Amino acid sequence: MTQFVSVDDVATLFHGRGSDRFFRELTAVIGDDFRRWPVFEKAARLASHSRDGVIELMPTSDGETYGFKYVNGHPRNTLDGKLTVTAFGVLADVASGYPTFISEMTLLTAMRTAATSALAAKALARPESRRMALIGAGAQAEFQALAFRAVLGIDTVAVYDVDAAATDKFMRNLRGVPGLRILRAGSVAEAVAGADIVTTATAAKTRATILTPDMIEPGMHINAIGGDCPGKTELAAAILERAKVFVEFPPQSRIEGEIQQMGEGFAVTELWRVLTGEAKGRTSATDVTVFDSVGFAIEDFSTLRYVRDIAVEAKVGSDLDLVPAPRDPKDLFGVMGRRTNLHERRELEALEA
């Protein structure tokens, strides 16, 4: 049997643990895997682009466990009442090839993105950072705010979205969260003013300049998570030129991230090297740092591993009859026969009754 965790199971685990504990633990697990980055197989995700969006496969392995995520990104979906992003993930045993764990990853993608953002900010932002600006109040927004509150102690979030209803939703969902003050901004500039950390998380598949150089103050940390496919950016190139830029996996980031605007020789630092002490992050209180995050398979691997383990601990989830279990491994057809015979017996018993 293959362990399965559903949408409802993930919500149960999140609320059962509490958002603070969940995000701290998930951030720690992702951080642990970043620190063993060299052991993983790494490749840019396999993407199928269309006019309406993208469908991607994101695989990796640490030599013992193999994992992948199926994920889409279709910004127009909301016009039809559908989510922009949906996903599911799989873990498998490398030794046998058997799939051991399957989980929804629509919720978990939002959670792992928020946890990875917090992990990077913990390493790159000023330690005293308490005020955050959120540009984009869509599906990512609440998760980002809760993760930054749990991991960095953020206590004030200024939010702006061109869609007033999205901002209403964000404020409604986080109303009453202890120790978190939510401010509604009237523009990007108003939200960013005075912020220690700025997260950009917009959905439009276009080369945008959500942040311009005049908005950037000395010491800011920018968490740029909206630019995640070719032709989609959020930051003016001039911001990148003056900042220290950190990425997950350069071959993927140069295609999909903010740095797709820059030449191949543009210098970036891999986040895992900062976490292991092999490279420097922020070196002064006035540095402007940018985490150009496009999402990488190792983050999904970490998240699947974390959820698998806490689901077992909490006795949440179910078993899927996904892989046949013949008495004789060379007699796969025999499984069909047994099922057919059982079906026939039941039909006969029904007729006799």
Stated length of the chain? 353
> What amino acid is encoded at 119 in this protein?
L
pLDDT value at position 336? 84
Q: Which domains does the chain have, with CATH numbers?
A: 2-107+299-320 (3.30.1780.10), 125-295 (3.40.50.720)
Strand order from edge to edge, sheet including 318-320: 46-49, 54-61, 65-73, 87-93, 99-104, 2-5, 318-320
53 alpha-carbon distance from chain centroid: 18
- Cβ atoms 188, 161 nearer than 8 A: no
pLDDT value at position 229? 66
Half-sphere exposure of 67 (CA within 13 A, CB side): 25
Q: Read off the pLDDT of each residue in 221-228 and give the average, rounded to a whole number.
A: 86
Query: pLDDT over 90 for what percent of the chain?
Result: 82
Spatial distance between the Cα atoms of 35 and 242, rounded to a whole number of angstroms? 27
| Phi and psi, residue 109, nearest 5° | -65, -40
Which residues, other chains included, contact 186 with Cβ-Cβ below 8 Å and sequence gap of 6+? 160
pLDDT value at position 338? 60
Per-residue pLDDT band for 209 (boundaries 50, 70, 90) equals: confident
- Cβ atoms 279, 269 nearer than 8 A: yes
Spatial distance between the Cα atoms of 123 and 121, rounded to a whole number of angstroms? 5
pLDDT value at position 334? 87
Catalytic one of 33, 196, 228, 287: 228
228 classed as catalytic: yes
pLDDT value at position 221? 98
3-state secondary structure 184-228: ECCCHHHHHCCCCEEEECCCCCCEEEEECHHHCCCCCEEEECCCC
3-class SS of residue 321: coil
pLDDT value at position 148? 98
Q: Does residue 321 register a pLDDT over 60?
A: yes
pLDDT value at position 117? 98
39: which 2 tokens?
């052991």
Q: Does residue 339 register a pLDDT over 60?
A: no
Q: Does residue 340 register a pLDDT over 60?
A: no
3-class SS of residue 180: coil
Per-residue pLDDT band for 205 (boundaries 50, 70, 90) equals: low
Least confident of 40-49, 101-110, 191-200, 333-342: 333-342
Query: pLDDT over 70 for what percent of the chain?
Result: 93
**Between residues 327 and 347, which one has the greater pLDDT?**
327
Per-residue pLDDT band for 344 (boundaries 50, 70, 90) equals: low
Q: What is the pLDDT of residues 6-50, one digit of tens each?
A: 999 999 999 999 999 999 999 999 999 999 999 999 998 898 989
Q: What is the pLDDT of residues 140-180, one digit of tens each?
A: 999 999 999 999 999 999 999 999 999 999 999 999 999 99
3-class SS of residue 279: coil
pLDDT value at position 208? 74
Q: What is the pLDDT of residues 261-286, one digit of tens each?
A: 998 889 999 999 999 999 999 999 99
The counts of H helices and E strands in the chain are: 11, 17
3-class SS of residue 256: helix
DSSP sequence for 3-63 = EEE-HHHHHHHHHHH-HHHHHHHHHHHHHHHHHTGGGS-----EEEE-SS-EEEEEEEE-S
pTM: 0.92
